[in-house]
Structure 1
Amino acid sequence: MKTIFWGLFLLLAQTTMAQEWSNPRIEGYGKIHYDKNLSFQPDVKKTYKLVFNIDNDAEKTGVNIRLWKIARELNLLKAAGVPDKNVQIAAVVHGKAIAVSLTDKAYEKRYQKKNPNTELVKALDNAGVKLYLCGQTVAGMKIEQDEMNPAWEVTLSALLTLPILESEGYLIVP
Protein backbone atom coordinates (compact mmCIF):
# COMPACT_ATOMS: atom_id res chain seq x y z
CA MET A 1 0.00 0.00 0.00
CA LYS A 2 2.85 2.39 0.85
CA THR A 3 4.45 1.62 -2.52
CA ILE A 4 1.26 2.54 -4.38
CA PHE A 5 0.92 5.78 -2.36
CA TRP A 6 4.52 6.86 -3.05
CA GLY A 7 4.20 5.87 -6.70
CA LEU A 8 1.10 8.03 -7.10
CA PHE A 9 2.74 10.86 -5.17
CA LEU A 10 5.82 10.82 -7.45
CA LEU A 11 3.64 10.69 -10.57
CA LEU A 12 1.60 13.67 -9.36
CA ALA A 13 4.76 15.59 -8.43
CA GLN A 14 6.29 14.99 -11.88
CA THR A 15 3.07 16.06 -13.61
CA THR A 16 2.90 19.22 -11.51
CA MET A 17 6.55 20.06 -12.16
CA ALA A 18 6.12 19.49 -15.90
CA GLN A 19 3.32 22.03 -16.00
CA GLU A 20 5.03 25.06 -14.49
CA TRP A 21 3.61 28.40 -15.59
CA SER A 22 5.60 31.60 -15.68
CA ASN A 23 5.65 35.25 -16.71
CA PRO A 24 9.28 35.85 -17.70
CA ARG A 25 8.77 39.33 -19.19
CA ILE A 26 5.35 40.72 -18.21
CA GLU A 27 4.91 39.88 -14.54
CA GLY A 28 1.41 38.77 -13.58
CA TYR A 29 -0.04 38.64 -17.12
CA GLY A 30 -0.01 36.27 -20.09
CA LYS A 31 1.28 33.26 -18.22
CA ILE A 32 2.97 30.61 -20.32
CA HIS A 33 4.16 27.05 -20.13
CA TYR A 34 7.49 26.90 -21.95
CA ASP A 35 8.96 23.62 -23.15
CA LYS A 36 12.47 23.98 -24.54
CA ASN A 37 12.36 20.41 -25.84
CA LEU A 38 9.77 21.10 -28.54
CA SER A 39 11.26 21.07 -32.03
CA PHE A 40 9.40 24.13 -33.38
CA GLN A 41 10.86 27.20 -31.66
CA PRO A 42 11.29 30.88 -32.58
CA ASP A 43 14.55 31.81 -34.28
CA VAL A 44 16.38 33.93 -31.71
CA LYS A 45 18.27 35.76 -34.47
CA LYS A 46 15.15 37.08 -36.20
CA THR A 47 13.27 40.28 -35.45
CA TYR A 48 9.57 39.83 -34.71
CA LYS A 49 7.36 42.77 -35.75
CA LEU A 50 3.79 41.99 -34.69
CA VAL A 51 0.61 44.05 -34.55
CA PHE A 52 -2.51 43.14 -32.58
CA ASN A 53 -5.86 44.42 -33.84
CA ILE A 54 -7.89 45.00 -30.67
CA ASP A 55 -11.54 45.66 -31.37
CA ASN A 56 -13.53 43.93 -28.66
CA ASP A 57 -13.87 44.08 -24.92
CA ALA A 58 -13.71 40.35 -24.20
CA GLU A 59 -11.84 39.62 -20.98
CA LYS A 60 -9.40 37.01 -19.71
CA THR A 61 -8.60 36.99 -16.02
CA GLY A 62 -10.23 40.41 -15.68
CA VAL A 63 -8.32 42.26 -18.41
CA ASN A 64 -8.82 42.69 -22.14
CA ILE A 65 -8.07 39.33 -23.73
CA ARG A 66 -6.05 40.82 -26.61
CA LEU A 67 -3.84 42.84 -24.23
CA TRP A 68 -3.39 39.66 -22.21
CA LYS A 69 -2.31 37.86 -25.40
CA ILE A 70 0.28 40.53 -26.11
CA ALA A 71 1.72 39.83 -22.65
CA ARG A 72 1.68 36.11 -23.48
CA GLU A 73 3.48 36.75 -26.79
CA LEU A 74 6.18 38.75 -24.99
CA ASN A 75 6.52 36.03 -22.35
CA LEU A 76 6.78 33.26 -24.98
CA LEU A 77 9.44 35.09 -26.97
CA LYS A 78 11.41 35.88 -23.79
CA ALA A 79 11.28 32.27 -22.61
CA ALA A 80 12.46 31.09 -26.03
CA GLY A 81 15.52 33.33 -25.76
CA VAL A 82 14.57 35.99 -28.30
CA PRO A 83 16.33 39.22 -27.23
CA ASP A 84 13.99 42.05 -26.24
CA LYS A 85 15.61 44.24 -28.92
CA ASN A 86 14.36 41.75 -31.55
CA VAL A 87 10.72 42.14 -30.53
CA GLN A 88 8.58 45.01 -31.82
CA ILE A 89 4.91 44.83 -30.94
CA ALA A 90 2.10 47.29 -31.62
CA ALA A 91 -1.49 47.32 -30.39
CA VAL A 92 -4.18 49.12 -32.38
CA VAL A 93 -7.32 49.67 -30.32
CA HIS A 94 -10.70 50.66 -31.72
CA GLY A 95 -14.40 49.93 -31.32
CA LYS A 96 -15.64 48.43 -28.05
CA ALA A 97 -12.08 47.90 -26.81
CA ILE A 98 -11.44 51.64 -26.49
CA ALA A 99 -12.23 51.52 -22.76
CA VAL A 100 -8.80 49.96 -22.13
CA SER A 101 -7.31 53.39 -22.85
CA LEU A 102 -9.21 55.29 -20.18
CA THR A 103 -7.66 56.58 -16.98
CA ASP A 104 -8.97 54.99 -13.81
CA LYS A 105 -10.96 58.14 -13.06
CA ALA A 106 -12.61 58.25 -16.50
CA TYR A 107 -13.25 54.51 -16.49
CA GLU A 108 -14.85 54.69 -13.06
CA LYS A 109 -17.07 57.56 -14.19
CA ARG A 110 -18.32 55.47 -17.13
CA TYR A 111 -18.33 51.96 -15.63
CA GLN A 112 -18.43 52.49 -11.83
CA LYS A 113 -15.17 50.62 -11.24
CA LYS A 114 -11.41 51.07 -11.66
CA ASN A 115 -9.98 50.27 -15.11
CA PRO A 116 -8.79 46.65 -14.78
CA ASN A 117 -6.33 47.17 -17.65
CA THR A 118 -4.30 50.02 -16.14
CA GLU A 119 -1.46 47.91 -14.70
CA LEU A 120 -1.24 45.70 -17.80
CA VAL A 121 -1.12 48.75 -20.08
CA LYS A 122 1.68 50.16 -17.92
CA ALA A 123 3.63 46.90 -18.13
CA LEU A 124 3.19 46.71 -21.93
CA ASP A 125 4.23 50.35 -22.31
CA ASN A 126 7.32 49.69 -20.16
CA ALA A 127 8.13 46.70 -22.39
CA GLY A 128 8.15 48.98 -25.43
CA VAL A 129 4.82 47.97 -26.96
CA LYS A 130 3.52 50.74 -29.23
CA LEU A 131 0.00 51.57 -28.07
CA TYR A 132 -2.29 53.18 -30.65
CA LEU A 133 -5.89 54.37 -30.43
CA CYS A 134 -8.26 54.91 -33.33
CA GLY A 135 -9.02 58.64 -33.47
CA GLN A 136 -12.36 57.92 -35.09
CA THR A 137 -13.44 55.79 -32.13
CA VAL A 138 -12.10 58.36 -29.66
CA ALA A 139 -14.20 61.06 -31.38
CA GLY A 140 -17.25 58.82 -31.70
CA MET A 141 -17.13 57.87 -28.01
CA LYS A 142 -16.54 61.53 -27.06
CA ILE A 143 -13.39 60.72 -25.11
CA GLU A 144 -11.48 63.81 -24.03
CA GLN A 145 -7.67 63.99 -23.94
CA ASP A 146 -7.59 64.14 -20.13
CA GLU A 147 -9.63 60.90 -19.95
CA MET A 148 -6.99 58.88 -21.81
CA ASN A 149 -4.07 57.07 -20.25
CA PRO A 150 -1.01 58.97 -21.60
CA ALA A 151 0.63 55.68 -22.66
CA TRP A 152 -1.68 55.64 -25.70
CA GLU A 153 -1.10 57.55 -28.94
CA VAL A 154 -4.16 58.62 -30.93
CA THR A 155 -3.92 57.98 -34.67
CA LEU A 156 -6.20 59.19 -37.42
CA SER A 157 -7.91 55.82 -37.73
CA ALA A 158 -7.36 52.11 -37.12
CA LEU A 159 -8.35 51.69 -40.77
CA LEU A 160 -5.13 53.48 -41.70
CA THR A 161 -2.88 52.50 -38.81
CA LEU A 162 -3.13 48.75 -39.42
CA PRO A 163 -2.15 48.84 -43.12
CA ILE A 164 0.56 51.43 -42.44
CA LEU A 165 2.11 49.10 -39.84
CA GLU A 166 1.78 46.18 -42.26
CA SER A 167 3.62 48.23 -44.91
CA GLU A 168 6.38 48.71 -42.33
CA GLY A 169 6.79 44.95 -41.99
CA TYR A 170 4.48 44.22 -39.05
CA LEU A 171 2.48 40.99 -39.24
CA ILE A 172 -1.06 40.93 -37.86
CA VAL A 173 -1.48 38.36 -35.11
CA PRO A 174 -4.90 36.73 -35.56
Structure 2
Amino acid sequence: MFRLLIAAIVIGSVGWSSSVEAQGFRGGRGGGPGRGQGPGPDSRQAADMEVFHYLLENHTKIERTVKDLPNGVETLTESDDPEVAAKIQEHVHWMEVRIEKTNPIRRRDPLFNELFRHTDKIKMNVVKTDKGVQVTETSDDPYVAKLLQAHAMVVSKFVEHGFQEAMKNHPVPGKDVAVKTEVIYPAIQGHGGVYQLPEAPQQPRPNTKILIDITAASEPDKLNPAIEKVARYVNIYAGAGKEKVDAEIALVFHGGATLAVLNEAAYQSEFKTDSNPNLELLRDLHHAGVAMFVCGQTLRAKGKSPEDVVVFVDTAVSAFTTSVNLQADGFAYVPLAK
Protein backbone atom coordinates (compact mmCIF):
# COMPACT_ATOMS: atom_id res chain seq x y z
CA MET A 1 0.00 0.00 0.00
CA PHE A 2 1.30 3.37 -0.96
CA ARG A 3 0.77 6.46 1.16
CA LEU A 4 2.58 9.73 1.51
CA LEU A 5 4.70 10.20 4.59
CA ILE A 6 2.06 11.06 7.17
CA ALA A 7 3.72 14.03 8.79
CA ALA A 8 4.24 15.68 5.41
CA ILE A 9 0.59 15.18 4.64
CA VAL A 10 -0.53 16.46 8.00
CA ILE A 11 1.80 19.37 8.55
CA GLY A 12 3.19 20.09 5.12
CA SER A 13 -0.01 20.66 3.19
CA VAL A 14 -0.42 24.37 3.91
CA GLY A 15 -1.07 26.25 0.71
CA TRP A 16 -3.26 23.41 -0.59
CA SER A 17 -5.96 25.69 -1.97
CA SER A 18 -3.49 27.76 -3.98
CA SER A 19 -1.07 25.07 -5.07
CA VAL A 20 -2.98 21.87 -5.69
CA GLU A 21 -3.54 21.11 -9.32
CA ALA A 22 -6.69 19.08 -9.08
CA GLN A 23 -6.66 16.14 -11.42
CA GLY A 24 -10.16 14.89 -10.81
CA PHE A 25 -8.60 11.70 -9.38
CA ARG A 26 -7.67 10.47 -12.82
CA GLY A 27 -4.52 8.72 -13.96
CA GLY A 28 -2.46 6.10 -12.16
CA ARG A 29 0.60 5.91 -9.99
CA GLY A 30 3.71 7.24 -11.64
CA GLY A 31 1.70 8.58 -14.58
CA GLY A 32 1.99 12.20 -13.53
CA PRO A 33 -0.91 14.49 -12.83
CA GLY A 34 -4.06 13.89 -14.79
CA ARG A 35 -3.13 15.31 -18.15
CA GLY A 36 -5.32 17.79 -19.91
CA GLN A 37 -6.87 19.22 -16.78
CA GLY A 38 -6.16 22.69 -15.44
CA PRO A 39 -5.78 23.81 -11.85
CA GLY A 40 -8.96 24.02 -9.81
CA PRO A 41 -10.80 22.47 -6.88
CA ASP A 42 -11.61 18.75 -6.74
CA SER A 43 -14.41 17.04 -4.84
CA ARG A 44 -12.32 16.56 -1.68
CA GLN A 45 -10.40 19.82 -1.60
CA ALA A 46 -12.59 21.75 0.85
CA ALA A 47 -12.83 18.89 3.34
CA ASP A 48 -9.14 18.06 3.12
CA MET A 49 -8.15 21.69 3.54
CA GLU A 50 -10.25 21.92 6.68
CA VAL A 51 -8.37 18.98 8.19
CA PHE A 52 -5.01 20.42 7.11
CA HIS A 53 -5.71 23.72 8.77
CA TYR A 54 -6.90 22.07 11.94
CA LEU A 55 -3.70 20.04 12.20
CA LEU A 56 -1.50 23.02 11.43
CA GLU A 57 -3.22 25.06 14.10
CA ASN A 58 -2.61 22.23 16.56
CA HIS A 59 0.94 21.39 15.50
CA THR A 60 2.23 21.88 19.06
CA LYS A 61 0.13 18.87 20.07
CA ILE A 62 1.89 16.63 17.55
CA GLU A 63 5.00 14.65 18.46
CA ARG A 64 7.31 13.26 15.82
CA THR A 65 10.39 11.06 15.69
CA VAL A 66 12.45 10.31 12.59
CA LYS A 67 15.01 7.59 11.90
CA ASP A 68 17.00 7.61 8.67
CA LEU A 69 17.40 4.22 6.99
CA PRO A 70 19.97 3.26 4.33
CA ASN A 71 17.21 3.35 1.72
CA GLY A 72 14.68 5.75 3.21
CA VAL A 73 13.15 6.83 6.50
CA GLU A 74 11.04 5.64 9.41
CA THR A 75 8.76 8.08 11.21
CA LEU A 76 6.32 8.08 14.08
CA THR A 77 3.74 10.89 14.21
CA GLU A 78 1.36 10.94 17.19
CA SER A 79 -0.66 13.14 19.53
CA ASP A 80 -1.86 12.72 23.09
CA ASP A 81 -4.98 14.63 22.06
CA PRO A 82 -7.54 12.04 20.83
CA GLU A 83 -9.14 14.52 18.42
CA VAL A 84 -5.80 15.40 16.82
CA ALA A 85 -4.90 11.72 16.56
CA ALA A 86 -8.24 11.03 14.86
CA LYS A 87 -7.69 13.87 12.41
CA ILE A 88 -4.26 12.45 11.54
CA GLN A 89 -5.81 9.10 10.70
CA GLU A 90 -8.65 10.66 8.73
CA HIS A 91 -6.14 12.63 6.74
CA VAL A 92 -4.10 9.51 5.93
CA HIS A 93 -7.10 7.82 4.35
CA TRP A 94 -7.72 10.61 1.87
CA MET A 95 -4.03 11.16 1.16
CA GLU A 96 -3.83 7.49 0.18
CA VAL A 97 -6.42 8.25 -2.50
CA ARG A 98 -4.44 11.27 -3.71
CA ILE A 99 -1.16 9.35 -3.87
CA GLU A 100 -2.61 6.33 -5.61
CA LYS A 101 -4.29 8.59 -8.19
CA THR A 102 -1.25 10.88 -8.49
CA ASN A 103 -3.18 13.93 -7.38
CA PRO A 104 -0.37 16.07 -5.90
CA ILE A 105 -0.33 18.65 -3.13
CA ARG A 106 1.97 21.65 -2.62
CA ARG A 107 3.02 21.77 -6.24
CA ARG A 108 4.55 25.20 -5.59
CA ASP A 109 7.12 23.59 -3.26
CA PRO A 110 10.01 22.10 -5.32
CA LEU A 111 10.65 19.27 -2.85
CA PHE A 112 7.01 18.15 -2.70
CA ASN A 113 6.67 18.52 -6.46
CA GLU A 114 9.70 16.33 -7.06
CA LEU A 115 8.57 13.71 -4.56
CA PHE A 116 5.23 13.32 -6.31
CA ARG A 117 7.05 12.66 -9.58
CA HIS A 118 8.42 9.44 -8.11
CA THR A 119 5.50 7.90 -6.23
CA ASP A 120 5.88 4.70 -8.25
CA LYS A 121 9.33 4.16 -6.69
CA ILE A 122 8.24 4.52 -3.06
CA LYS A 123 7.53 1.51 -0.85
CA MET A 124 5.59 2.30 2.29
CA ASN A 125 4.41 0.43 5.32
CA VAL A 126 1.81 2.29 7.36
CA VAL A 127 0.76 1.12 10.82
CA LYS A 128 -1.90 2.88 12.88
CA THR A 129 -1.10 3.41 16.53
CA ASP A 130 -3.38 4.42 19.40
CA LYS A 131 -2.14 7.99 18.99
CA GLY A 132 -1.34 8.33 15.30
CA VAL A 133 0.62 6.57 12.59
CA GLN A 134 4.00 4.90 12.12
CA VAL A 135 5.39 4.98 8.58
CA THR A 136 8.34 3.25 6.98
CA GLU A 137 9.15 4.73 3.58
CA THR A 138 11.85 3.25 1.37
CA SER A 139 12.97 3.17 -2.23
CA ASP A 140 15.36 1.06 -4.29
CA ASP A 141 16.28 4.26 -6.13
CA PRO A 142 19.03 6.08 -4.17
CA TYR A 143 17.82 9.46 -5.45
CA VAL A 144 14.28 8.85 -4.26
CA ALA A 145 15.61 7.64 -0.91
CA LYS A 146 17.39 10.98 -0.54
CA LEU A 147 14.16 12.75 -1.41
CA LEU A 148 12.38 10.87 1.37
CA GLN A 149 15.05 11.80 3.90
CA ALA A 150 15.08 15.45 2.86
CA HIS A 151 11.32 15.47 3.03
CA ALA A 152 11.36 14.02 6.54
CA MET A 153 13.77 16.74 7.66
CA VAL A 154 11.51 19.46 6.30
CA VAL A 155 8.44 17.94 7.91
CA SER A 156 10.21 17.98 11.27
CA LYS A 157 10.57 21.72 10.78
CA PHE A 158 6.86 21.93 10.01
CA VAL A 159 6.07 20.17 13.26
CA GLU A 160 8.31 22.57 15.15
CA HIS A 161 7.24 25.83 13.51
CA GLY A 162 3.79 25.16 12.04
CA PHE A 163 2.47 27.70 9.55
CA GLN A 164 5.67 29.74 9.68
CA GLU A 165 7.70 26.92 8.12
CA ALA A 166 4.91 25.55 5.94
CA MET A 167 4.68 28.85 4.07
CA LYS A 168 8.23 28.33 2.75
CA ASN A 169 9.43 26.45 -0.32
CA HIS A 170 12.10 23.79 0.09
CA PRO A 171 14.91 22.78 -2.28
CA VAL A 172 15.38 19.42 -3.96
CA PRO A 173 18.54 17.69 -2.69
CA GLY A 174 21.35 17.57 -5.20
CA LYS A 175 20.02 20.44 -7.29
CA ASP A 176 21.37 23.95 -7.48
CA VAL A 177 19.18 25.82 -5.02
CA ALA A 178 20.69 29.25 -5.50
CA VAL A 179 18.18 31.90 -6.46
CA LYS A 180 18.69 32.73 -10.11
CA THR A 181 18.94 36.47 -10.51
CA GLU A 182 20.39 36.59 -14.02
CA VAL A 183 18.26 38.54 -16.46
CA ILE A 184 17.92 36.88 -19.87
CA TYR A 185 16.75 38.13 -23.25
CA PRO A 186 15.59 35.02 -25.13
CA ALA A 187 13.91 36.79 -28.07
CA ILE A 188 14.36 40.57 -27.88
CA GLN A 189 17.95 41.45 -27.08
CA GLY A 190 18.58 44.37 -24.74
CA HIS A 191 14.92 45.01 -23.93
CA GLY A 192 12.32 43.38 -21.70
CA GLY A 193 14.68 41.22 -19.66
CA VAL A 194 13.09 38.35 -17.73
CA TYR A 195 14.01 35.81 -15.04
CA GLN A 196 13.68 32.12 -15.82
CA LEU A 197 11.28 30.23 -13.52
CA PRO A 198 10.97 26.68 -14.90
CA GLU A 199 9.34 25.26 -11.75
CA ALA A 200 6.74 27.99 -11.26
CA PRO A 201 3.02 27.27 -11.56
CA GLN A 202 1.00 28.91 -14.34
CA GLN A 203 3.60 28.45 -17.06
CA PRO A 204 3.16 30.18 -20.43
CA ARG A 205 0.79 28.08 -22.55
CA PRO A 206 1.41 27.21 -26.20
CA ASN A 207 -0.75 28.83 -28.87
CA THR A 208 -1.76 31.73 -26.64
CA LYS A 209 -3.18 34.77 -28.46
CA ILE A 210 -2.69 38.22 -26.91
CA LEU A 211 -3.95 41.63 -28.01
CA ILE A 212 -2.07 44.47 -26.32
CA ASP A 213 -3.79 47.86 -26.42
CA ILE A 214 -1.27 50.71 -26.19
CA THR A 215 -2.71 54.18 -25.57
CA ALA A 216 -0.22 56.30 -23.60
CA ALA A 217 2.13 58.85 -25.11
CA SER A 218 5.72 59.31 -23.95
CA GLU A 219 8.36 61.99 -24.18
CA PRO A 220 9.18 62.41 -27.90
CA ASP A 221 12.91 61.76 -27.47
CA LYS A 222 12.49 58.62 -25.31
CA LEU A 223 11.33 55.07 -25.91
CA ASN A 224 7.67 54.56 -25.04
CA PRO A 225 7.69 52.44 -21.82
CA ALA A 226 4.71 50.42 -23.05
CA ILE A 227 6.75 49.12 -25.99
CA GLU A 228 9.46 48.02 -23.54
CA LYS A 229 6.81 46.07 -21.65
CA VAL A 230 5.75 44.34 -24.84
CA ALA A 231 9.34 43.17 -25.30
CA ARG A 232 9.12 41.63 -21.84
CA TYR A 233 5.92 39.82 -22.74
CA VAL A 234 7.58 38.39 -25.85
CA ASN A 235 10.59 37.27 -23.81
CA ILE A 236 8.36 35.62 -21.22
CA TYR A 237 6.90 33.30 -23.84
CA ALA A 238 10.29 32.81 -25.48
CA GLY A 239 12.12 31.55 -22.42
CA ALA A 240 11.02 32.68 -18.96
CA GLY A 241 9.23 29.42 -18.24
CA LYS A 242 10.12 25.75 -18.38
CA GLU A 243 10.32 25.82 -22.16
CA LYS A 244 9.80 28.16 -25.09
CA VAL A 245 6.20 28.24 -26.31
CA ASP A 246 4.62 29.81 -29.35
CA ALA A 247 2.38 32.80 -28.77
CA GLU A 248 0.58 35.07 -31.22
CA ILE A 249 0.91 38.69 -30.09
CA ALA A 250 -0.70 41.72 -31.70
CA LEU A 251 -0.36 45.39 -30.78
CA VAL A 252 -2.80 48.19 -31.49
CA PHE A 253 -1.69 51.82 -31.10
CA HIS A 254 -4.19 54.62 -30.57
CA GLY A 255 -4.80 57.66 -28.39
CA GLY A 256 -1.59 59.27 -27.22
CA ALA A 257 0.50 56.35 -28.51
CA THR A 258 -0.58 56.77 -32.14
CA LEU A 259 2.39 58.80 -33.34
CA ALA A 260 4.94 56.37 -31.83
CA VAL A 261 4.74 54.37 -35.08
CA LEU A 262 5.56 57.20 -37.49
CA ASN A 263 8.47 56.66 -39.85
CA GLU A 264 11.66 58.61 -39.31
CA ALA A 265 10.84 61.53 -41.60
CA ALA A 266 7.30 62.02 -40.31
CA TYR A 267 8.42 61.71 -36.68
CA GLN A 268 11.27 64.18 -37.09
CA SER A 269 8.92 66.64 -38.74
CA GLU A 270 6.31 66.29 -36.00
CA PHE A 271 8.56 66.39 -32.93
CA LYS A 272 11.76 68.08 -34.18
CA THR A 273 13.89 65.19 -32.94
CA ASP A 274 16.87 63.47 -34.54
CA SER A 275 14.98 60.18 -34.88
CA ASN A 276 12.04 58.12 -33.67
CA PRO A 277 13.35 56.37 -30.51
CA ASN A 278 10.69 53.66 -30.80
CA LEU A 279 11.55 52.31 -34.23
CA GLU A 280 14.49 50.07 -33.37
CA LEU A 281 12.53 48.10 -30.77
CA LEU A 282 9.39 48.07 -32.91
CA ARG A 283 11.46 46.56 -35.72
CA ASP A 284 12.79 43.89 -33.36
CA LEU A 285 9.23 43.07 -32.29
CA HIS A 286 8.22 42.82 -35.93
CA HIS A 287 11.07 40.40 -36.62
CA ALA A 288 9.93 38.35 -33.60
CA GLY A 289 6.53 37.91 -35.23
CA VAL A 290 4.50 40.56 -33.41
CA ALA A 291 1.69 42.02 -35.54
CA MET A 292 1.16 45.78 -35.20
CA PHE A 293 -1.75 48.04 -36.05
CA VAL A 294 -2.40 51.76 -35.65
CA CYS A 295 -5.81 53.39 -35.41
CA GLY A 296 -6.58 55.07 -38.73
CA GLN A 297 -9.19 57.34 -37.17
CA THR A 298 -6.77 58.78 -34.60
CA LEU A 299 -3.98 58.98 -37.17
CA ARG A 300 -6.14 61.12 -39.49
CA ALA A 301 -7.39 63.24 -36.58
CA LYS A 302 -3.76 64.06 -35.76
CA GLY A 303 -3.11 65.22 -39.33
CA LYS A 304 -1.18 62.15 -40.48
CA SER A 305 -1.77 59.55 -43.19
CA PRO A 306 -0.94 55.83 -43.60
CA GLU A 307 2.06 56.89 -45.73
CA ASP A 308 3.56 58.50 -42.58
CA VAL A 309 3.53 55.16 -40.73
CA VAL A 310 6.54 52.83 -40.68
CA VAL A 311 6.10 50.08 -43.26
CA PHE A 312 5.76 47.11 -40.86
CA VAL A 313 2.81 48.66 -38.95
CA ASP A 314 -0.59 48.33 -40.64
CA THR A 315 -3.11 51.17 -40.52
CA ALA A 316 -6.48 49.78 -39.41
CA VAL A 317 -9.86 51.46 -39.91
CA SER A 318 -9.90 51.98 -36.14
CA ALA A 319 -8.51 50.61 -32.91
CA PHE A 320 -12.07 49.78 -31.93
CA THR A 321 -12.70 47.46 -34.89
CA THR A 322 -9.27 45.88 -34.52
CA SER A 323 -9.92 45.08 -30.88
CA VAL A 324 -13.36 43.65 -31.61
CA ASN A 325 -12.13 41.53 -34.51
CA LEU A 326 -9.11 40.09 -32.72
CA GLN A 327 -11.03 39.28 -29.56
CA ALA A 328 -13.58 37.48 -31.73
CA ASP A 329 -10.64 35.49 -33.09
CA GLY A 330 -9.69 34.36 -29.59
CA PHE A 331 -7.15 36.99 -28.55
CA ALA A 332 -6.97 37.85 -24.84
CA TYR A 333 -7.25 41.63 -24.34
CA VAL A 334 -4.45 43.30 -22.35
CA PRO A 335 -4.72 47.11 -21.92
CA LEU A 336 -1.37 48.83 -21.52
CA ALA A 337 -1.78 52.50 -20.72
CA LYS A 338 1.88 53.11 -19.85
Same fold (TM over 0.5): yes
Output the CA distance in 2 between the equivalents of 1:47 and 1:147. 33
One of 116, 121, 146 as aligned partner of 2:277: 116
Question: Tell me, what secondary structure is at the counterpart of 2:210?
Answer: strand
Name 1:7's counterpart in structure 2: none
| Aligned partner of 2:322 among 161, 164, 171 | 161
The residue that corresponds to 2:305 in the other structure is 144
Offset from partner CA, 1:25-75 (integer Å, 9 cap, x none): 0111111122223233223xx31100000111147xx42222212211110
Q: Which runs of 5+ in 1 are unaligned?
A: 1-13
Q: Which amino acid aligns with 1:27?
A: Q
* 2:195 counterpart residue number: 33
Deviations 1:66-120 (A, max 9, x none): 221221111011112233xx31010011111012111122111111221110001
1:89 aligned residue: 249
Alignment match, 2:229: 69
Percent sequence identity is: 29
Q: Secondary structure at the match of 2:265?
A: helix
Q: Is the 8 A contact 1:92 1:132 kept in 2?
A: yes
Look up the equivalent residue of 1:25 and give its one-letter code.
A
Unaligned runs of 5+ in 2: 1-176
Corresponding position of 2:289: 128
Deviation at 1:173? 1.7
Number of residues of Structure 1 aligned to a counterpart in Structure 2: 154
Following TM superposition, by how much is the alpha carbon of 1:22 offset from its aligned partner in structure 2, in angstroms?
1.5
Taking the aligned partners of 1:91 and 1:21, their CA distance within structure 2 comes to 24
Alignment partner, residue 3 of structure 1: none
> Given residue 257 of structure 2, which amino acid in structure 1 is its aligned partner?
A
- Report the structure number with the largest CA radius of gyration: 2
The CA distance in 1 between the partners of 2:209 and 2:301, in whole Å, is 30
The residue number in structure 2 matching 1:18 is: 180
CA contact (8 A) 1:57 1:65 kept: no
CA root-mean-square deviation: 1.9
Q: Distance in 2 between matches of 1:115 and 1:122?
A: 12
Query: With structure 1 as the length reference, what TM-score do the two structures score?
Result: 0.81
| Letter of the 2:319 counterpart | A
Q: Flag the structure with more relative contact order, 1 or 2, with Cα contacts below 8 A and sequence separation at least 6.
A: 1
Letter of the 2:308 counterpart: E
- Aligned partner of 1:107 in structure 2 is 267
Instruction: Give yes or no for contact 1:98–1:133 (8 Å, CA) kept in 2.
Output: yes
* CA distance, structure 1, for counterparts of residue 317 and residue 228 of structure 2: 25
* 2:204/2:236 contact within 8 Å kept: no
Shift of 1:21: 0.8
